[in-house]
Amino acid sequence: MFFVAGARNAAKFREVDILDKKKTVTALKPGEDRAILLGLGMILCSMMMYFVLGITVLRSCADSVWTEEGTCAVINSTVTGDMNCSYSCGSNCWRVSRFPCLQVYVSVNNTGRIGRLSHNEETQDASSECVYIPRCQKDSAAMRAVIVNISQHLKTNQHVSCFYDPSEQQDTVLLTRLYDHSAAFHTLLWPSCTLTIGALIIVMVNLTQYLSRLCEEIGKIKR
């Protein structure tokens, strides 16, 4: 008899408790829902960014063989001839322009190896001989000026810092790297920020919920 009454009482208390909880939850609901959705959206976004960037930039970083930095001494630097390039002159319109191809051989100070110099990975991919491929434009004199500038720079600075492949699979030596540690860092920075903020929003909403429930309970005890 006593037990049954006790159990009934407890059940009643639980009911009240649940009702109370429901009240606070429904009171906070619309804003919270949106916040949670925003948080989840940001986390999803960052996952997608990690995925896309991971298979582009990070793979290029990992594939890059020019890992060692050294000093390069210019051996010779010659203009081998003109290269054709095409620039856009509107929709479906391409015109041909030309720029001089500057070929530079250097010796890598640290190893004594001789290699052809290239501006970066993209230049190395695009051309087998030219140091630098300017953005194609109508004004070929401007492109020539850029190349002459580089040639002058290499004449006055006989030693330049450069990147080479320590395993000697690649003869080409790079002046600058597109894909290095700082590129990897910047690639991962934005998705990581988004992920952190998204997770923070969700944690904050849960914390708010928890605190409001706590407040409610304290209020009940005081009453």
Ligand X SMILES: *[C@@H]1O[C@H](CO)[C@@H](O)[C@H](O)[C@H]1NC(C)=O
Q: Considering the complex, what minimum distance in angstroms separates the CB of residue 92 from ligand X?
A: 19
| Token digits of residue 115 | 């290699």
Q: Which residues contact 120 (CB under 8 A, 6 or more apart)?
A: 174, 175, 176, 177, 178
Residues 6+ apart with CB under 8 A from 131: 102, 103, 104, 117, 118, 119, 123, 150, 175
Stretch that binds ligand X, among 34-42, 59-67, 143-151, 181-189 (CB under 6 A): 143-151
Count of residues in contact with ligand X, rule CB under 6 A: 15
* Least distance from ligand X to the Cβ atom of residue 114, Å: 5
User: Are the C-beta atoms of 118 and 134 separated by less than 8 Å?
Assistant: no
Token readout for 129 is 């001989």
Q: Sort 223 into a burial class: Cβ within 10 Å, 0-12 / 13-18 / 19+.
A: exposed
Q: Given candidates 36, 45, 83, 183, which one binds ligand X under the rule CB under 6 A? A: 83
Beta bridge partners of 97: 85
Q: Which is nearer to ligand X, 9 or 128 (CB)?
A: 128
Residues with Cβ within 8 Å of residue 180, at least 6 apart in sequence: 61, 64
Give the binding range for ligand X (CB under 6 A) out of 46-54, 60-68, 145-153, 181-189.
Answer: 145-153
- Among residues 21, 105, 213, 216, which is the contact residue for ligand X, using CB under 6 A? 105
**207 belongs to the binding site for ligand X (CB under 6 A):** no
Does position 23 interact with ligand X (CB under 6 A)? The reply is: no
Query: Closer to ligand X at the Cβ: 75 or 207?
Result: 75
Residue type, 142: A
Q: Candidates 41-49, 141-149, 173-181, 186-194: pick the segment binding ligand X (CB under 6 A).
A: 141-149
Residue 181 Cβ, how far from ligand X at the closest point, in Å? 23
Task: Assess 159 for contact with ligand X (CB under 6 A).
Answer: yes
Whole-angstrom distance, CA of residue 112 vs CA of residue 135: 33
Regarding 65 and contact with ligand X (CB under 6 A), the answer is no
126 touches ligand X (CB under 6 A): no
Q: Per CB under 6 A, does 149 bind ligand X?
A: yes
Between 16 and 96, CB nearer to ligand X:
96
Say how far residue 11 (Cα) sits from the centre of its chain: 56
Which parts of this chain interact with ligand X (CB under 6 A)?
A: 71, 73, 75-76, 78, 83-84, 96, 105, 109, 114, 145-146, 149, 159
